[in-house]
Structure 1
Amino acid sequence: MSNSASLTDSLMDHFVAKPCAASVDILYQDADMLVINKPSGLLSLSGKNPLNWDSVHYRLVNGQQDISPAFAQAKLPHRLDYGTSGIMLVGLTEQATQHLNRQFQIRAVQKRYLAMLDGWLTADEGMISAAIVKDKHGFGRVRICADTGMAALSQFRVLKRLNDPPRSLVAFTPHTGRTHQLRIHSQSIGHPILGCDLYHNTQSHQMAERLLLHASDIDFEHPTRLQPMHWHCPSPF
């Protein structure tokens, strides 16, 4: 999970995304902004590699795949990882985009994610506090490092424990927005997110066809009306 990038630039130079047939759903629209539901397996922004032209931004600007009309001025004040699905905010004017950007910068936006984790968490709720730093030796990855990492906090609550195999459906509230924060934090406590290709154990990557991480809820201030807004997007898993 990251507010600044869907994948690191170095990773994007080599990564080639598979075609994504799923549509970008518009949950809310007015003259200033959109609230959208991004499918898993779609980039937020087109990559440097010309093969990675398809993205949320490309589809919005060009009116692709049943998004009509096109939103030529669409800007993304935050992004989701390639494998993450769920809510994203889109600015349609310069003023709205700047206001939304500012809310993310000062951490005034509250987000909640749902994730399916490998195994059963012992605690019903808690806080993961583990500093994160870019892994210079791990292609496109981050790692936990108390000495040089940036502070990162992820609050969690177990919603359901499932059997065959043991899994935990967890609600995450990130209090910081580090790259891949929820993915690396989940692995750090011994319960990686199912389907995660970068942070996994011997079986968790193969236990799902996609990354089971979904941006389900968001609270923010409307960029022009300045009224509180809340949106919920049901999880597909």
Structure 2
Amino acid sequence: MLKRRTILFVSLLMLATGTTTVAQDFKTVFAAMKEKHEHMNRFHVVMTVEAMDGEKEKPFYSERFEMKKDDNHFLYGLSNSVVLLGDRHVIEIDKATESIVVNKRDIKIEKSLTRQIRFNLDSILTSYESPTYLGEKNGQYSYRLAVKEGSVNTIDLDVNKTSGLLSRIQYRYRDGQLVNIVFDVFDTQPVFAANTFSEDKFLVQEKGALQPVGDYKNFRVINVDSK
């Protein structure tokens, strides 16, 4: 942690003075952060995503996304869906259609799912102009990246100076639209309850078939493996 914070501090000094090595130092800092993000075996993350047509407009889209990971167990939740990678099955719950899709755990399925949710900073690091250091406020280091081309004009990034992890991303589009992603929780050492990743919260085996329980007892179960 000390080494990462030292690299970040040196990079901020160079960003502030406008030296020619700014871009390389910036990439070093964020490459280290990317490495840390992608190799966490346990974490609890809660993100709030909002989209609005302008700085002073009310959000036309708002979503809360929660992720929990403990080694090879995962639990993802949105307002209308839940995905669990448990001991035996991948369980996908669609609250809108009141349905539950069940698959046995499979390497190909898991790789596809983890690719979708992995913190991928590559797109940020390959398409920006010279970064600008915006300063430090409330324990956050802030950067602004001017994007070379495409629909996004600038990307603002806040990095927690203690943990070295992202705390906010803001995409500002050329048409004036804004998308804010705020990491409300980013815990890399969470303590989960014993039943956090339990399949029994959603399904139980009865009379040779998987049956929904609890809040999902009236949902339709689609067991892909039984077909």
TM-score range, shorter chain: under 0.3
The structure richer in helix per residue is 2
**Could you state the TM-score of these two structures normalised by the residue count of structure 1?**
0.21
**Could you state the TM-score of these two structures normalised by the residue count of structure 2?**
0.22
Computing the radius of gyration from Cα coordinates, the structure with the larger value is: 2
The structure richer in strand per residue is 2
